[in-house]
Protein backbone atom coordinates (compact mmCIF):
# COMPACT_ATOMS: atom_id res chain seq x y z
CA UNK A 1 0.00 0.00 0.00
CA UNK A 2 1.52 3.37 -0.93
CA UNK A 3 1.78 6.14 1.57
CA UNK A 4 -1.12 8.30 0.43
CA UNK A 5 -3.46 5.26 0.48
CA UNK A 6 -2.19 4.35 3.90
CA UNK A 7 -2.85 7.85 5.18
CA UNK A 8 -6.34 7.79 3.68
CA UNK A 9 -7.07 4.51 5.47
CA UNK A 10 -5.82 6.04 8.69
CA UNK A 11 -8.14 8.99 8.15
CA UNK A 12 -11.00 6.53 7.65
CA UNK A 13 -10.29 5.15 11.11
CA UNK A 14 -8.56 1.94 10.08
CA UNK A 15 -6.53 0.91 13.13
CA UNK A 16 -4.41 -1.54 11.12
CA UNK A 17 -3.39 1.23 8.73
CA UNK A 18 -2.41 3.41 11.69
CA UNK A 19 -0.30 0.57 13.06
CA UNK A 20 1.36 0.16 9.64
CA UNK A 21 2.07 3.86 9.46
CA UNK A 22 3.65 3.73 12.90
CA UNK A 23 5.82 0.75 12.00
CA UNK A 24 6.89 2.44 8.78
CA UNK A 25 8.09 5.64 10.43
CA UNK A 26 8.82 4.99 14.10
CA UNK A 27 12.48 4.09 13.55
CA UNK A 28 13.23 7.32 11.64
CA UNK A 29 11.38 9.44 14.16
CA UNK A 30 13.27 7.74 16.97
CA UNK A 31 16.63 8.34 15.30
CA UNK A 32 15.90 11.98 14.68
CA UNK A 33 14.70 12.48 18.25
CA UNK A 34 17.81 10.74 19.50
CA UNK A 35 19.97 13.00 17.32
CA UNK A 36 18.45 16.03 19.03
CA UNK A 37 18.09 14.69 22.56
CA UNK A 38 20.93 12.16 22.71
CA UNK A 39 19.14 10.03 25.30
CA UNK A 40 17.39 6.79 24.46
CA UNK A 41 14.60 7.06 27.00
CA UNK A 42 13.75 10.61 25.98
CA UNK A 43 13.88 9.71 22.30
CA UNK A 44 11.51 6.82 22.90
CA UNK A 45 9.04 8.99 24.79
CA UNK A 46 9.18 11.64 22.10
CA UNK A 47 8.58 8.99 19.41
CA UNK A 48 5.36 7.96 21.12
CA UNK A 49 4.28 11.56 21.65
CA UNK A 50 4.92 12.32 17.98
CA UNK A 51 2.63 9.54 16.80
CA UNK A 52 -0.08 10.27 19.34
CA UNK A 53 -0.10 13.86 18.10
CA UNK A 54 0.20 12.96 14.42
CA UNK A 55 -2.54 10.32 14.44
CA UNK A 56 -4.85 12.53 16.46
CA UNK A 57 -4.41 15.39 14.02
CA UNK A 58 -3.86 13.55 10.78
CA UNK A 59 -6.70 15.48 9.16
CA UNK A 60 -4.54 18.60 9.49
CA UNK A 61 -1.86 17.12 7.27
CA UNK A 62 -2.00 18.61 3.78
CA UNK A 63 -0.13 16.55 1.21
CA UNK A 64 -0.07 19.51 -1.19
CA UNK A 65 2.01 21.50 1.27
CA UNK A 66 4.64 18.94 2.24
CA UNK A 67 5.65 15.32 2.18
CA UNK A 68 4.36 13.24 5.04
CA UNK A 69 7.86 12.73 6.44
CA UNK A 70 8.41 16.50 6.45
CA UNK A 71 5.26 16.93 8.51
CA UNK A 72 6.24 14.10 10.82
CA UNK A 73 9.75 15.45 11.32
CA UNK A 74 8.36 18.91 12.05
CA UNK A 75 6.37 17.37 14.89
CA UNK A 76 9.44 15.41 15.99
CA UNK A 77 11.58 18.53 16.19
CA UNK A 78 8.86 20.41 18.04
CA UNK A 79 8.36 17.59 20.56
CA UNK A 80 12.10 17.19 21.03
CA UNK A 81 12.46 20.89 21.74
CA UNK A 82 9.68 20.69 24.31
CA UNK A 83 11.35 17.75 25.93
CA UNK A 84 14.66 19.57 26.07
CA UNK A 85 13.06 22.65 27.56
CA UNK A 86 11.31 20.63 30.23
CA UNK A 87 14.40 18.74 31.20
CA UNK A 88 16.97 21.51 30.85
CA UNK A 89 19.39 18.95 29.58
CA UNK A 90 22.82 19.65 31.01
CA UNK A 91 25.72 19.95 28.65
CA UNK A 92 27.95 16.96 29.11
CA UNK A 93 31.65 17.51 28.75
CA UNK A 94 33.41 15.61 26.03
CA UNK A 95 35.46 13.46 28.39
CA UNK A 96 32.43 12.68 30.54
CA UNK A 97 30.42 11.74 27.50
CA UNK A 98 33.11 9.45 26.15
CA UNK A 99 33.42 7.69 29.48
CA UNK A 100 29.67 7.35 29.90
CA UNK A 101 28.77 6.16 26.47
CA UNK A 102 31.65 3.99 25.42
CA UNK A 103 32.50 1.18 27.75
CA UNK A 104 35.59 -0.92 27.25
CA UNK A 105 33.48 -3.93 26.37
CA UNK A 106 31.90 -2.00 23.49
CA UNK A 107 35.16 -1.09 21.80
CA UNK A 108 35.17 -2.08 18.14
CA UNK A 109 37.88 -4.32 16.67
CA UNK A 110 41.34 -2.76 16.37
CA UNK A 111 41.04 -1.77 12.73
CA UNK A 112 37.84 0.14 13.44
CA UNK A 113 39.06 1.75 16.61
CA UNK A 114 40.52 4.85 15.03
CA UNK A 115 37.46 5.53 12.94
CA UNK A 116 35.23 5.00 15.92
CA UNK A 117 37.26 7.37 18.06
CA UNK A 118 37.04 9.98 15.34
CA UNK A 119 33.28 9.60 15.15
CA UNK A 120 32.96 9.91 18.87
CA UNK A 121 34.94 13.13 18.80
CA UNK A 122 32.73 14.56 16.08
CA UNK A 123 29.58 13.34 17.80
CA UNK A 124 30.64 14.92 21.05
CA UNK A 125 31.38 18.18 19.23
CA UNK A 126 27.92 18.05 17.66
CA UNK A 127 26.55 17.72 21.16
CA UNK A 128 28.21 20.99 22.11
CA UNK A 129 26.41 22.98 19.43
CA UNK A 130 23.42 25.07 20.35
CA UNK A 131 20.14 23.22 19.70
CA UNK A 132 19.25 25.26 16.61
CA UNK A 133 22.59 24.67 14.94
CA UNK A 134 22.55 21.00 15.89
CA UNK A 135 19.04 20.50 14.49
CA UNK A 136 20.09 21.87 11.12
CA UNK A 137 23.18 19.67 10.88
CA UNK A 138 21.49 16.50 12.15
CA UNK A 139 18.60 16.96 9.72
CA UNK A 140 21.03 17.42 6.84
CA UNK A 141 22.76 14.10 7.31
CA UNK A 142 20.48 11.80 9.25
CA UNK A 143 18.54 11.15 6.07
CA UNK A 144 20.25 13.40 3.54
CA UNK A 145 17.44 15.91 3.58
CA UNK A 146 17.76 18.90 1.29
CA UNK A 147 18.10 22.40 2.70
CA UNK A 148 14.66 23.14 1.34
CA UNK A 149 13.17 20.22 3.26
CA UNK A 150 15.05 21.26 6.39
CA UNK A 151 13.60 24.75 5.96
CA UNK A 152 10.10 23.30 5.79
CA UNK A 153 10.66 21.12 8.81
CA UNK A 154 12.09 23.93 10.91
CA UNK A 155 9.68 26.45 9.44
CA UNK A 156 12.51 28.77 8.41
CA UNK A 157 13.64 30.26 5.11
CA UNK A 158 16.31 28.20 3.38
CA UNK A 159 18.80 31.05 3.80
CA UNK A 160 18.38 30.88 7.57
CA UNK A 161 19.09 27.16 7.53
CA UNK A 162 22.18 27.69 5.42
CA UNK A 163 23.36 30.37 7.79
CA UNK A 164 22.90 27.99 10.74
CA UNK A 165 24.83 25.27 8.94
CA UNK A 166 27.65 27.70 8.21
CA UNK A 167 27.79 28.75 11.87
CA UNK A 168 27.67 25.11 12.94
CA UNK A 169 30.53 24.32 10.60
CA UNK A 170 32.73 27.04 12.06
CA UNK A 171 31.84 26.01 15.59
CA UNK A 172 32.62 22.36 14.87
CA UNK A 173 35.94 23.27 13.29
CA UNK A 174 36.89 25.19 16.43
CA UNK A 175 35.76 22.43 18.78
CA UNK A 176 37.59 19.73 16.90
CA UNK A 177 40.79 21.76 16.75
CA UNK A 178 40.57 22.37 20.52
CA UNK A 179 40.02 18.68 21.12
CA UNK A 180 43.03 17.79 19.02
CA UNK A 181 45.32 19.72 21.33
| Structural element, H or E, at residue 66 | none
Q: Which residues bind other proteins (CB under 8 A)?
A: 13, 15, 18-19, 22-23, 26-27, 30-32, 34-35, 40, 44, 47-48, 51-52, 55-56, 118-120, 122-123, 126, 137-138, 140-142, 147, 162, 165-166, 169-170, 172-173, 176
Cβ-based nearer residue to other proteins, 85 or 159: 159
Closest CA to 136 of 101, 174, 168, 103: 168
Cβ-based nearer residue to other proteins, 88 or 180: 180
Cβ-based nearer residue to other proteins, 23 or 91: 23
How far is CA 124 from each of CA 32, 90, 95, 127, rounded to the nearest angstrom?
16, 14, 9, 5
Asked if residues 80 and 49 have their Cβ atoms less than 8 Å apart, the reply is no
Quote the least distance from Cβ 38 to other proteins, whole Å. Answer: 9
Amino acid sequence: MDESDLIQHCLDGDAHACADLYQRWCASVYRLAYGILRQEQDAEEVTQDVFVYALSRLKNYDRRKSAFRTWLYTITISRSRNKMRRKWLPTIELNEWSENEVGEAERPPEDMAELQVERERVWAALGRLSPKLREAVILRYFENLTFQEIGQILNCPMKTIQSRVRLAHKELAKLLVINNH
